[in-house]
Amino acid sequence: MKLQHADFDTERFDIERDPRWAALCARERAADGRFVYAVATTGVYCRPSCAARRPRPENVRFHASPDDAERAGFRACRRCHPREEVVAPQAIRFAIGESTLGLVLVAESDAGLRAVLFGDDAGTLVHDLQSQLPDAALAVDSGGVQASLDAVVDCIEAPHVSLDRPLDLQGTSFQTTVWRELRRIPPGTTVSYGEVARRLGVPGSARAIAVACAANALAVVVPCHRVVAADGGVSGYRWGVARKRALLQREARP
C-alpha cells in the first residue's frame, strides 16, 4: 500500500510539472490543437480550453491528438468537441498615440477599424483591448496602424474632419444597427436615446439604445457621445463624461 501511495504522489507531481497542466488550468485557447487531455475517471478527453470542471492531476493523461486519445480508449467531450477544427484567432494590430483628450489606442483587423479607446495609461488601454478581444492575436504594429491612428486623432482634434476608413463592426445585429445609425448623426448635433429608438422603429427602447452605446468600442468613429438624455443632460459615456462634454463643445464650434 505504501508503494502505491508513493506512485500516486509521483504521478501527480509529474503531471503538475508538465507545462500542459498549466495550459489546462488556465483554459488557454492558444493551446487548443496542440494537445488534448483525457480524464481516467470519466473516460473522456477534452481540448485545453474546455470549461468543464478541472480534473485531479493524477487522473489526467495527455495525448498529442484526438486520434491518440481514442486509441487509448477515451471518447470525445460533448461540451468542447475536441475533434472539431480549431479556428485560428483573428489577428488584431494596434498602436497607441496622444491626443488632447488623453491617450488613444487604435486597433484594426484585416477588415478595418476594430477599436478606438481613450485612456490615461498605456497598460490599462492594452488590458482593456485584451478584455474585449480575449480570443484575438494582438500585436503592436505602430507602422501598419499609424495612418489609421493619425486619422482618428485628426477627428478628435477637428471633429468636422471626416474619417474615410473601413470599419470592422462586431456585435449583435441590434448593436450594429444602432452603431450605423449613430454614424448618421452629424457633428454639432445631439439626439436623445429615445429619438434614436424612434428612428430605428423601436420606440420605447431607449434603455436598449443606451446599452448598445455603452458597448461601442469605436470612440469618436461611432459617435455615441452625440446621444444624450431626453432633457439634454450629458451623461453615460464609457470614456468619462468630461471627454463627452469636451467632444460636444468642440463639435459645437463653427
* Cα separation values, 30 from 7, 49, 225, Å: 32, 8, 36
| Enclosing H/E stretch for 39 | strand 36-39
| CB-count exposure of residue 69 (10 Å: 0-12, 13-18, 19+) | buried
| Closest listed residue to residue 36, CA positions, set 22, 47, 52 | 47
Whether 89 and 134 have beta carbons less than 8 Å apart is answered as: no
Whether 247 and 241 have beta carbons less than 8 Å apart is answered as: no
Catalytic residue among 46, 77, 213, 224: 224
DSSP per-residue codes, 144-195: HHHHHHHHHHHHHHSTTS-----B---S-HHHHHHHHHHTTSPTT--EEHHH
Which grid coordinates are listed for 101?
A: 483628450
Sign of CA dihedral 160, 174, 242, 168: negative
Note if 224 is an active site residue: yes
State residue 100 phi and psi, 5-degree precision. -75, -5
Residues with catalytic annotation?
224
